[in-house]
Structures are given as structure tokens and as C-alpha cells.
Copies of this chain bind each other. A is one copy, B any other.
């Protein structure tokens, strides 16, 4: 059976840019376009040339792409010809092979928002599409508010589509602009539009996530016959976002009936790069990647429940709907107070610690983790602290050094220029190989700015560890998370520290105390000890 071709149209660079708090630079747009092109997207909508200087610059700078580069704009305004509309001219001047023009199809919007007659709007659609097609461009018509328009006045809404099609549009894209239409209704209306004379292989679908159904609404449109899918990476977009291509692409490639019925431009091999592309986008945006994101999130294949974790060890398909590697992701079995011994053994093995099944140390380690969790510790992400705790219980934890005491002073006062300035100073006293060492550091960075008490402590601790100094010289603190939580009956502070070293290794440790500086110091100590085990071994 020959497969129908589905076309993927990405609007991350246009509708995705409408996400609150996001604005791309031209360089960032170029980087994202390159990733989209490598993934196998069919159309890349780069922006609205003329409306936005960054978008205009993007179209000037972008090179040849496998994908069809597309400029976005709107149908000409009433009262002038398509040739004389400067907004439309700016869009065409970007010189892209395809042009997508948004226009009204909901009668209320025509008469109220635009304030023109229904006839004038039809003429704007006809003339604009014909003008683009006449220049040899592939023309797309984005039918704004289509589903609401269809419900209000289906004859007029359909007339708008027919006018665009007759004027030479390759694609008619049905947009659920306000995002309020549920999937079942989308499917039904797409079916009615096809029955009304617009062929399915000329129809696209553009949904928004305002009811958390954008992905399902898109699939409902495909089921009903639409053949172009519009969406964004990581579901960026106005308000609650657009249909998430990062979720749609794996479902289309891996799930039935889509895998057997349709062909898309993304290969199974390219799919393995999906998680990387999703994380790259978050990096560009400086956003923390959403852990729970379907397919690509770091929790998407995390098995916390004890029953799940033990079954996964026997056969991953018991609790996984696909193999994580298919989308370039990986399985995670976190520690938690619900995890069983098999889960524990597997996590120990990941840390290079082999413990026999049934070893009584396993129960002791679980007990200790439980007790610590009730004090406010969490070990599902702080794998390095988990490892140290287990090593300690197994008698595999060398005492590299002992902290005798520390003191931190934080001062804020006026300097000689009468400006308030702050400064922290830390003294740490450790005993290494029988020798007592005092180190002191202050919290100023190279620019002379105060970086706070934890910074001072971390520098003092790392200043002189005698024979171990070489191992920690390349360590640095890359992230620091704090939350107030419950430890027994009292509120305590939990600090999680991310450390990194010269080899790019990254590890997480945890500390808990009523005193935030003390909690941080505990996490710092664990970070240093973990690094020493990695680089100096456990025989020290």
C-alpha cells in the first residue's frame, strides 16, 4: 500500500516568537532554522519580513535550505491593489519560494475587527493569493479563526477558502486561532470542509494549546484528511503555545495508524536527534527544559514507582511506550522512598558499585535513604550524594579529609564613597593526612562584585586540600537550587548543587539544614568528595 505524504510546516520562528518573554536574535533564528532543516521539516516559516527588523535580517542572511523557506504576511488591505500594498510588498521582497498569508474567514472579524464588507475581504484574499502565485511563489492561505468562523457562518467561511484555492493557493491552512476548539470538533469540521469541495491534500491544520489538546486536534485533522501540519518546536507560541512538533513527530513516525499510513520528511535516524534539538532550543532561550515534556523531557522515561522500576529491569517494554533511544532520550530510575532493592542495585551499578542480590547492606542503605528523606533530603536527582551515602554504608568511603570548623562573615556597610557594599569572608579549617590547614577566601569575583557567602566558602574549601588539590582544581559550581521544605516538624532549607569539571562531567549533590549556609556547605563537601573518588579512587 502506498503511503500518503504528510507535510510538516514549522512556525517556531514566527508564531513561536509570540511566546511571552521570548524574542529571538537573528543569529538565534539562523541556528534554529539550521536544526529544523537538519531534522527534515518541509517548510520553515522564518517570520514576517517588514514587520520586524530581526525577521527581515533573517531572510537576508539565511542560506540555501532543503526545506521550503516561507515568509509570513497578511492579505492586502481593502481599498488598494495587491501591487500597491507596501506591507505585502515587504513580504514578497524577502524573495522566499513560499509565502503564507493570513486572512479573515470569520464574518464577525471581517465586519468588526477589519471594518470592511464581506465582499471586500473575499477580494483581498483573491487578489493577494493571485499576486503571490503570479510571481511564481508557492502560496499558502492561513484561514484565521476558521473553526469559529465555520460555526458562525459556514457558507462564508467556505467561500473564503474556495476563493483562495481558485486564485492559486497550494495550501489552505485551517487555523484554530483562539485555541478553543476540541479535537472531535476539529475532526468533524475538517471532514465537512473536504465534503464541501476543498481536497484534503490541499488542507493544512494550525492549532493552539488553550485546552491542552493542540496535538490531539492536529491528529484529528489528519484523520479527517488534512495533509499539512503546522506547529512549533517545544510547543512555543502565543498564549499556551502552538501544536508541539516535538510530540507530533515521534507519534507520526512510531505510532499506528500513522506509521503505516503516512510518509513524512523526518527519518527514523533524524528522530534520534530530537531530544538534542529540543534541549538546544531551551539553551538558546535560556529556559530550564521541561522535565515532563513527552518524548524529550528528562522525566519522560523516569520510573519512580517501585513496582514499575522492578518490572522495567526485567523488560523495559512493561512500562515504556517506546524505546527512549528512538528519540535520543534515555531511561532514568531515580531513588525514592518507594523504590525497591532491584532499583537500588541498578543505581549502584551505574555508579560502578556492584552489590550481590540479597546483600543485607541493601536494606540498610534503603533505610538510611528513607530516614534522610524524612529529614528533607532528596536523592532522585542528587545521584552523587546517593553514591556517597551508599559507599559509606558499604565501607567503601575513604575519609580524604576532615572539616574541623568553618566561619563565614557577611558584612554590609557604606564604603568610602558612601555606597552600600557587601562582602563575605570564609575561613575553613580541615585536617588532611594528619595536617591541619586553615584557608580563607572572600566572595569577590574578578570584577570586584560580591558573589555571596556560599561562593566564599566554596573557594576557601577548595583552596588547599594538600595531596588532593590537583583533583579539585578544575571543579566549578554551575548551578545552585534552594527550597524551604519540611524536615520532621521544622522547616529546613534544602540546597542542591550542580558541579562540573574540566572533562565536562556534571554531578549533583544535596545538603539540608535549618541554616542555609550550612546546607550549602554540606552539598559542597559532597561535591568535593565525589570528585575525589572519581579522580583519586577509593583506596586513598
* Most B CB within 10 A of own CB, among A307, A319, A321, A480: A321
Interface size on A, residues (CB 8 A): 121
Q: Closest residue of chain B to A185, judged by CB?
A: B256
Q: Does A358 contact B (CB under 8 A)?
A: no
Q: Does A518 contact B (CB under 8 A)?
A: yes
Q: Which residue of B lies closest to A26 (CB)?
A: B486
A482–B516 contact, CB under 8 A? yes
A273 at the interface (CB under 8 A from B): no
* Chain B contacts for A454, CB-based, 8 A: 516
Complex formed: what's the CA distance from A27 to B488 in Å?
A: 10
Contact (Cβ within 8 A) A292 B410 = no
Cβ-based interface call for A119 (8 A): no
Quote the shortest CB–CB distance from A374 to chain B (angstroms).
Answer: 7
Known: A404-B413, A412-B405. A21 touches B515 (CB 8 A): no
**Contact of A183 (CB < 8 Å), options: B183, B370, B443:** B183
Tell me if A389 counts as interface (CB < 8 A to partner B).
no
Q: Within 8 Å of chain B (Cβ to Cβ): is A109?
A: yes
Contact in complex: A516, B20 (CB < 8 Å): no
A318 with B109: CB separation less than 8 A: yes
Which residues of chain B are within 8 angstroms of A219 by Cβ–Cβ distance?
Answer: 182-184, 213
Question: A210-B300, A294-B209 are contacts. A321–B180 as well, Cβ < 8 Å?
Answer: yes
Expressed in whole angstroms, the Cα–Cα distance for A178 and B25 within the complex equals 39
Contact indicator B484/A239 (Cβ below 8 Å): no
Q: What's the least CB distance linking A505 to chain B, in Å?
A: 21
A246 to chain B, nearest CB (A): 9
Tallying the copies of this chain within the complex gives 2
Question: Are the C-beta atoms of B319 and A177 separated by less than 8 Å?
Answer: yes
Q: Which residues from B are CB-within-8-Å of A332?
A: 20
Within 8 A of B (CB), among A360-397: 370, 373-374, 378, 380-381
Residue-wise, chain A 474-515 has the 8 Å CB interface mask toward B (1 for contact) of: 000001111111100011010000000000000000000111
A294 B408 Cβ-Cβ under 8 A: no
Q: Are A178 and B515 in contact, with the CB atoms below 8 A?
A: no
- Are A484 and B480 neighbours in the complex by a CB distance under 8 Å? yes
Secondary structure dominating the interface of A: mixed
The 0/1 profile, CB within 8 Å of B marked 1, for residues 3-29 of chain A is 000000000000000111101010110
Given contacts A239-B301, A291-B21, A486-B25, contact A453 B516 (CB under 8 A): yes
Q: Which of A250-298 touch B at CB < 8 Å?
A: 251, 255, 286, 290-295, 297-298
In the assembled complex, A51 has its CB within 8 A of some CB on chain B: yes
Beta-carbon contact of A515 and B443 below 8 Å? yes
What are 29 A-B pairs with beta-carbon distances under 8 A?
A: A19-B292, A20-B334, A21-B381, A108-B318, A112-B314, A113-B315, A113-B318, A180-B321, A180-B322, A182-B251, A209-B292, A210-B295, A211-B295, A212-B247, A238-B305, A239-B299, A239-B300, A239-B302, A286-B486, A404-B413, A407-B411, A409-B410, A410-B453, A412-B521, A452-B517, A481-B483, A482-B482, A482-B484, A517-B517
Residues of A within 8 A of B (CB): 18-21, 23, 25, 27-28, 51-54, 74, 108-109, 112-113, 177-180, 182-184, 209-213, 215-217, 219-220, 223, 235, 238-241, 244, 247, 251, 255, 286, 290-295, 297-308, 311, 314-315, 318-322, 332, 334, 336-338, 370, 373-374, 378, 380-381, 404-414, 422, 424, 443, 449-455, 479-486, 490-491, 493, 513-518, 521
